[in-house]
Amino acid sequence: MTLVSEVRLRQILDSRGNRTVEADVRTESGGFGRAAAPSGASTGEYEAIELDPSEAIASAREHAVPRLEGKVFVGDQRDVDRTLRAADGTDDFSEIGANSAVAISMAAAKAAADVLGAPLYQHLGGAFRGEESPTPLGNVVGGGEHAADATAIQEFLSVPVGAPNVQDAVFANAAVHREVHDLLADRDIAAGKGDEGAWAPSIDDEEAFEIVQAATDSVADDFGFEIRFGLDVAAAEMYDEDDEEYVYRDTTRSTDEQIEYVAELVDEYDLAYVEDPLDEDDYEGFAELTEKVGDRTLVCGDDLFVTNVKRLETGIEQGAANSILVKPNQIGTLSDAVDAVELAVENGYQPVISHRSGETEDTTIAHLAVATGAPYIKTGAVGGERTAKLNELIRIEQNVSRL
C-alpha cells in the first residue's frame, strides 16, 4: 500500500486527431502509471459524460486531484474510484468528466501494479487470472457512424472462434481484413478506412455480407480453424423515434421487422455475435430477439447497458440480451466496469471488453479482459492504436504460458 503523491493531467491526441485526456499517477514509493481516455462516435444516450478535455482537466485538478494526492492508496482501486466519484458528486461524471475520471482510474491501477512489480492483469484479477485469453473480434468492414457513404450496419466483425491461441486469432483477423481488401479490388470497388481501420466501401449491406462471408471462409481454410463473423448494428443510430422505425440506406423497418430481419441474418450467415440490434431503450425487443436466437449467438447490449449495473439489472430481469459490452469510459472507472462484468457473469451473460472508435495507444483494456476472464474483446484488426491492444494480448499470453 502506497499513497498517491502526484496526479498530472494533459491533453493528447486520439486516433481521430481529436484531443483527449491523459493522466500520470505517481506514488510515494516510486510507482508510476500512465493512461489515456478513449472517445466514442456512436455513443449511448446513457453513457457517463465526456467533457471538453480542457474543461475536464481543469475540473479534475480542482475537485479530484486534491482528494487523491497524499490521501489515497493506489493499492485500493475501489477507494481510488470512490474518491473520484465523491469528487465529482454526480451520477454521470458531468462535473469532472468521465474522460478525466477514467484516465486517472486506469493510471492509478497501473501505478499500483508497478509498485507490486506485477502485470496489470494480475493486479486487477489476482494471481490465478490469465489462464485463458479472450478471443478478439476484428472490425473488417464498417459504416454507420464510423464512415460516411458506406454500409448502414456499423461493423462487420471477424470472429475466430476456433483459434487455438490469441496470437493465431489476431493474425487471422488481420488476414480477413486483407482478404476483404482483395475481394473488393476484384470487384473494382474502392475503399478507404473508417475510424477503426475497417474498410469502408460504398456498397450496400447485402454485398458486404457476401464479401465478409467469402473472406472469413477463405481465411478459415488457410488457417485450419473456424472463423465466423458478427455485427455491430448500432441500431440506436438508425432508429427514428418519431416514426418508430429503423432507417437503412434504402429501406425502413418496424421493430417487428427489425427483429425478424436480424434473426434471419443469424440463421443465414451463422452469426456468432450481434451487438445493438435494436434501439437503446427497447428492452422488450432485445428480449424477443434473444428468445429467438440467443441459443446460437451472442446478443450483446452496448448502448442498451452502457456498462451500467442498474441498466444491466433491468436487462437481466427482462431477459434482454445475453451479453454486455464493457467500456470503462462509458461508466468512468475500472471498479464500475468490473462490477458490470461480475454481475453479467453471475447471471449467465457473456462480457465483451471493448475499445472505442477514438482510441489511443493505451493497453488497459487488454489487461482488463484477461483480469476478468472475459471470453471476447473488441479491439479492431489494424491500426497502431488497435494493434497496441492486440500485441499486448499476445505478450500477456506468452507471459502466462511461462508461469
CA dist 318 → 288, 321, 322 (Å): 10, 9, 11
CA dihedral 201, 207, 210, 211 (to 10 degrees): -20
Which of 276, 290, 278, 275 is closest to 246 using CA atoms?
A: 278
C-alpha cell at 279: 434501439
Residue 69 labelled as part of a binding site: no
Given 22, 95, 196, 288, the catalytic residue: 196
Measured in whole angstroms, the distance separating CA 129 from the mean position of its chain's CA atoms is: 20
Q: Is 378 annotated as a binding residue?
A: yes
- 327 is an active site residue: yes
Q: How far is CA 176 from the centre of its chain?
A: 20
Is 110 flagged in the annotation as binding?
no
The answer to whether 123 is annotated as binding is no
Phi-psi region of 97 (alpha: psi -120 to 50; beta: other; left: phi over 0): left
Cell numbers placing 196: 477503426
- Listed in sequence order, the residues at least 6 apart from 334 whose beta carbon sits closer than 8 Å to its beta carbon are 77, 81, 102, 105, 106, 109, 124, 328, 364, 368
Of 95, 280, 292, 327, the catalytic one is 327
The answer to whether the annotation marks 302 as part of a ligand binding site is yes
Dist CA 225 CA 201 (whole Å): 28
* Chain position carrying cell 446460437: 296
Confirm or deny that 395 is annotated as ligand binding.
Answer: no
Do 371 and 124 touch, CB atoms closer than 8 A? Answer: yes
The grid coordinates listed for 48 are: 457517463
The answer on whether 354 is annotated among ligand-binding residues is: yes
- Residue 356 among known ligand-binding residues: yes
Q: Is 275 annotated as a binding residue?
A: yes
Sheet strand arrangement including 32-36: 4-13, 19-27, 32-36
244 is catalytic: no
Phi-psi group of 7: left, alpha or beta (phi > 0 → left; psi -120 to 50 → alpha; rest → beta) = beta
Residue 154 annotated as binding? Answer: yes
Hey, which residues are catalytic here?
Answer: 196, 327
Q: Which residues are annotated as a binding site for Mg(2+)?
A: 232, 275, 302
Q: Which residues are annotated as a binding site for (2R)-2-phosphoglycerate?
A: 154, 327, 356-357, 378
Q: Which residues are annotated as a binding site?
A: 146, 154-155, 232, 275, 302, 327, 354-357, 378
